[in-house]
Amino acid sequence: MAYAATLTAERRFEPAIAAGVGVAMFILVQAMAYQLVGTFEYPLDDVYIHLAVAEQIAAGGYGVNPGEYTSAASSPIYPLLLVPFAGTAWHVYLPLAWNAVALVLVAFLWGRIVQDAVTDRLAALALAVLGPLAFNLAGIAQVGMEHTLHVLAGMAVLRGLQIQLDQGRLHWLLVAGMVLGPMIRFEGLAVTGGAALALAMTGRWKTGTALFGAAAALVAGFMVFLTSIGLEPLPNSVMAKLAGGGQDSRFSLTTLPLKVVAQVAASDKAIVMLVAVIIGAVALVRVAGRARALIAGAVFAGAGHLLLGQFGWFNRYELYALSFVLGMLMLGLFRADDMKSACALLLVGFAYLAFSYGIWLVQNGKYGALAIYSQQRNMSSFAKEVYQKPVAVNDLGYVAWNNPNYVLDLWGLASYRALSTRLDNPQDGWADEIVQDAGVKLAMIYDELIGSGIGADWIKVGTLQYQGAGGFLGGRNVSFYATTAEAAPELRKQIADFAPRVVGAAEMWVEDAP
């Protein structure tokens, strides 16, 4: 297996093959979900957070509630891309459109990279087919969030580096990918840093430093923007993810080794990433020149994600790093001499990821959409069409989007007060004071997530239970609480009236008065 700097006449179809595989898988998953649900729905409600933020941007604000600045979205750029069509029936489909376009571009770029990098015909064909599956492109496109664009930025960096090293020219794909990637998600700094390292090791340290500096400046500029409107420099959603899933669990550098161990123990994708980093580290002593630079960039990005990134929750957080690390290893190993065993192991890794993600997606993609349709859509309909007053939730998204009434987020993505209280001082009943100060009389929450934070005087007036298979929810039961005794009777009546209108695989009932 050897590196080829120019397109060969016998292999001109890798881009088309890769794009075809990605699109076919995407259509299959969407068709299965539609057949099960009976309508279009996303498999996670997080996309509705971005749609809600986009609505407020279109109205001149920033957050999920009119007149209140909050940093609920992890991505600086993505909500801006969702501003068109805000307030119209077409708005909900805009994330789908962006992700479909990004999927095709990622797959095509991947095929083009493989076409120029691998001379062995069977190996190139295998990589073209396996890439879109190993990168779970259909899965992240179905989610409708910024992750497909994030993978696209990494793929642009890969292609740009390939052109830079082979043709000696700075391509716009490299510039765009390195500079804009971290603005899609902050984790993109790992990719930008890995590419900058590769450039520096090939004597182009000025280019690498300039591009990394431009990316860092944009990230810093966004942080300045957040502080200028009275917010923390990091988005609430980023701080919540860094902290983990529990209470009293602020991020700490001292916990990073334990975090890596926990992720490797819980995720086979983390194991693949760790193995890839180890392969790269070992290969560094056996290769030289441009191959060493590419592999060093892969090790940097992979190690960075293992330390600071996440794995899982619809298998989307790790894909920008996995696709970049495996792509960099491919570019480095296939250009190096006497690395056939490492190239073969890399192909095995692609095959494993393609099988693992593919089987998982076929089994779970459709149920994700059913779960959101059955739970979050019903909550949204009740809040907007029946209750029509301020509400509190701990799973922000569907309820906030297209809702003219105030939505209090007790998990903290849209409320720094709730986030800091939950992480720093989660005393018994901590949510009650926040709810009362906001004048909220209804809380729709997962009991297990708020736990002891539930107010002592709250009255459980109803339950919405998801009864379908699978899904990615904070819990199968959503408890409806009247936060004051006076609000309970009317809420029970409204829940009883709404129960026959519940859609999907769910049931809703009134909780009797104690």
What is the model's pLDDT at position 390? 97
* C-alpha distance across the termini of the chain, in Å: 73
Q: If pLDDT is split at 50, 70 and 90, which confidence band does 12 have?
A: low
What is the model's pLDDT at position 253? 64
Residue 38's φ and ψ, nearest 5 degrees, are 90, 0
Q: Residue type at 333?
A: L
Average pLDDT, integer, range 201-228 = 97
| Tokens 């990394």 sit on residue | 212
Q: DSSP states of 213-239 as a string?
A: HHHHHHHHHHHHHHHHTT--SS-HHHH
Angstrom distance (rounded) from CA 206 to CA 396 = 43
Mean pLDDT score across all residues of the chain: 92
Q: Which residues pair with 480 in a beta bridge?
A: 444, 462
- Tell me which long-range contacts 254-257 makes (C-beta under 8 A, separation of at least 24): 256/307, 256/308
Give the residue, 400 or 237, on which the prediction is more confident: 400
CB-based contacts of 191, cutoff 8 Å, min separation 6: 153, 154, 157, 177, 178, 181, 301, 320, 321, 324
CB-based contacts of 333, cutoff 8 Å, min separation 6: 283, 287, 291, 295, 339, 342, 343, 346
Which tens digit of pLDDT belongs to each residue from 181-211?
Answer: 999 999 999 999 999 999 999 999 999 999 9
SS3 256: helix
The pLDDT of residue 466 is above 70: yes
What is the model's pLDDT at position 425? 82
Which tens digit of pLDDT belongs to each residue from 117-166?
Answer: 998 889 999 999 999 999 999 999 999 999 999 999 999 999 999 999 99
Rounded to two decimals, the pTM is 0.94
Which tens digit of pLDDT belongs to each residue from 32-58?
Answer: 999 999 999 999 999 999 999 999 999
Length of the chain: 514
What is the model's pLDDT at position 342? 82
Which tens digit of pLDDT belongs to each residue from 48-101?
Answer: 999 999 999 999 999 999 999 999 999 999 999 999 999 999 999 999 999 999
Give the alpha-carbon dihedral of 382, 386, 387, 392, to 10 degrees.
Answer: 10
Alpha helix segments (H runs only) across 309-339: 319-333
Q: If pLDDT is split at 50, 70 and 90, which confidence band does 249 have?
A: low
